[in-house]
Structure 1
Amino acid sequence: MTLAASPIRYPDVASRTVMTRRAWWLVALNFLIPGSPQALAGNRRLGRFGLGATLALWTLALVALALWLFWRPVILTVFSMSWTLWVVAALLVFYAVLLVVLTFDTLRLVRIVKTAPSARGWIAGLTTLVMIGLSGSAAYGAYVATTASGFLSDVFIAGPSVPPIDGRYNFLLLGGDAGPDRDGLRPDSITVVSVDATTGQAVTIGLPRNMEDVPFNEDSPLAAVYPEGYGSIDGCEVDVCMLNSIYTEVELMSPEMYPDAESQGSEPGIEAMRDAAEAITGLPIQYYALIDMAGFQQLIDALGGVTVVVPEDVPIHADETFTTVAEWIPAGEQHLDGYHALWYARSRHGTSDYDRMARQRQIQEAVLAQFNPGNVLSKFQEIAAAGSQVVKTDIPQSMLGYFVDLAGKTKALPITDVPLVPDNDVDPEDPDYDYIRQLVQQAVFPPTEEPAEG
């Protein structure tokens, strides 16, 4: 009666056919429902513990799936917090160890010497492969979680979320290009990105680095020093009085103008650039991101390069004077490594600043397009290590989930580009800032069409 009722717990050990069939059942159950082999054929206490852990994991996975499908910003916010990732890592390590314990115990319960000789190697080998696959995946997930937690802590600040202004979030993106021929860093790529907080529709405003007579709003500490615009009366404290020189001047000469910058995750020079960008565009800027262009090279290498269509041959310079050509990046579709992508974005020989701005946007867009889950996960360690050296920002971790979800909407929509260049009737050497603010307002808040009467 007992034998008939419990063939897995009390099998006919004299029958190799029965024991082989039983072994395959136990191996399959260990893979499908860890803990069930112990509950059916071994230590019931261990089995209940394993089943409870398995059901808890399934429940968490189903909750995460439901949140991903119906409340995506919530799940993204949860998994963009450092402490949450450490909890996830601890749980994954626990499951990795538990699966090893349960698998070895399953092999014990199989009684492999009682199975058919031809099946023993397959049973042992498949069980081991399943254990390595499941436990290894959990262990790798724990490693990714801890690496991501460190990356988030290094790059993003701890701070409260802030609401959008006029329904939009505005970001200042600075591409910093420090070099041996200059004092400190100067942002050679300056862009304001305005994103609709609901739809994700984005407008990018490209600010040439050589804009002159840059204004400041009345509440900026620089307004008292340059009431008629940056360097417009008696010059400035650095060699040239252009937009990107504002960062250098404040950072090196007068950081006391912004005493709270560092405590808020920023720098005096960055805050000065934020003030300038706000006055130029007429948009309040909630957050900034500074990208080290030299470090950008490491990020592109970590991604495995970037593919762009080069409209015409672009030179790579042999020195920092940007006059001697070492080699050329030929026209056509090119897959560039970090070194060549960086030079493609910063090359000056025989070209204009406006051409550079267009190439920089092209590289940025190509890199963003390559950020997909498969690419990022397969090279996560390299990307995280490069990213922590490339990016500095005051975006708080509490906003990451929301912004990641918003960025997904942005990628699905066309982006409106407003470059402040001569082709757009803007003269950087003698800019009409009233006209510039009008251009920006028309792009960011386009007039709604009135329905036709009748």
Structure 2
Amino acid sequence: MTRMTSGAGGGPRIAGLRALQAFGLTLSCLSLGGFALLSGAGRTVASTVTPGAAPQFTVLIAGRDIVYCYYRQPCKDQDQRTGLVQPPNTDTVMLVKVDGSSVRVLNIPRDTNVGPFDRFSPIAAQKVNSQYHSGGPEALARAVETITGERVDSYVVVRTDYVERVIDALGGLNVTVPEGGIEWIDNAAGVNLQLPAGAHHLKGQEAVLFLRVRKGFGDDYGRIDHQKQALTQLAGRMKSAQGLAALPTILGGIGNGVETNADPNTLVTLRPFLGQLKLSFATLPTDEIPGTFNLAVNRERLAALWGDAPAPVTAAPDVKVSVVDASGAGLGAGLSRALGALGYADVQVTVAPPSQEASQVFTQQDVAQAGALSDLLKLPRLQGERFPVAPGEVGVLLGRDAQDTLSQLAALAGTPLPAADAAAPTTPGATPSPPPAGN
């Protein structure tokens, strides 16, 4: 999760308060940012879509901090730029690329360097998360274009004041706390989170705190991977009746904390494609810049996971598939048989306690194979840097939702497994190898 570092003049406690907002910023970006487009908040730029054609556009979505004028006291004017304890950086930056029903989200780590590293310039000023404060949303958009090589058609920058309400409006978050439980108490920051191991349904305030905890998730890359899983769960609800019921709460933030130059008609063009939306997440691949905390984009790897031309997939997939069956209906066995019939020679199934977490396909570097499975199963594809899969391995998590979305596997699940599948571990209650606790 986000590092607990001191900001200029703010001290570690203010930095801690900023860090609490990390996940909320991400959720705000996807939900509120999208509705900001739909409602046309702010000034607009010319439409980037053609009426009647499949929509094709990119939008930069960023989450900015609440600004504090004193310790634990937000400024009355959240748009002021002077007299602050800490500048309003954007610790969550995403480039969303829409092509018809395909929606790809590229998470950009906050420490990514903008352009070649300049040893004679201030290190922090070169990071992408400092661009908003120094030059506004336009400067941030230009920085993302430099980093990704993609044109940014429009931007949406949101605050996180109402993140907890958004999570509550969408029904909260289902999580699985790892062994040993979680205890995070910080009286100075008003934090008191104590959760035993196992499944939990969290409301907004606890959900934001839980998704801030570093335990079990590691560094900033782990935090980003972790957030993808939670967003996958919540995004699925936005297409449901519950998502429609949440609109008043979500739209309540528009005009108070949203900056955008997007055409209000942009999302209107998406309506015919909503039922077939294919969602995929990826993390900008980077390399460390020696002697700094800054990161340099790895363009070769970026082209492999973000290029418009899909990588080829062999007829006989040479990839290990690790299935965690938390469906509560034994669907993992059926999936193993189905994949075996399609040429997947190495499929292993682990049975886990039933989970309300969203079904998904995930990988670190085998993007083409994960994409093929995602298309086959019609599940979201998540690429990340810290998912617990090895090179040459793709993970599949089957949650309770698979009983509806992949119900056809039930017929296959009742038949004897082939010898190769029967040898795979299927111990009830085994710890799932994919998505760690909290997706």
Q: TM-score, normalised by structure 1?
A: 0.48
Structure with the higher strand share, 1 or 2: 2
Structure with the higher helix share, 1 or 2: 1
Q: TM-score, normalised by structure 2?
A: 0.49
Greater radius of gyration (CA)? 1
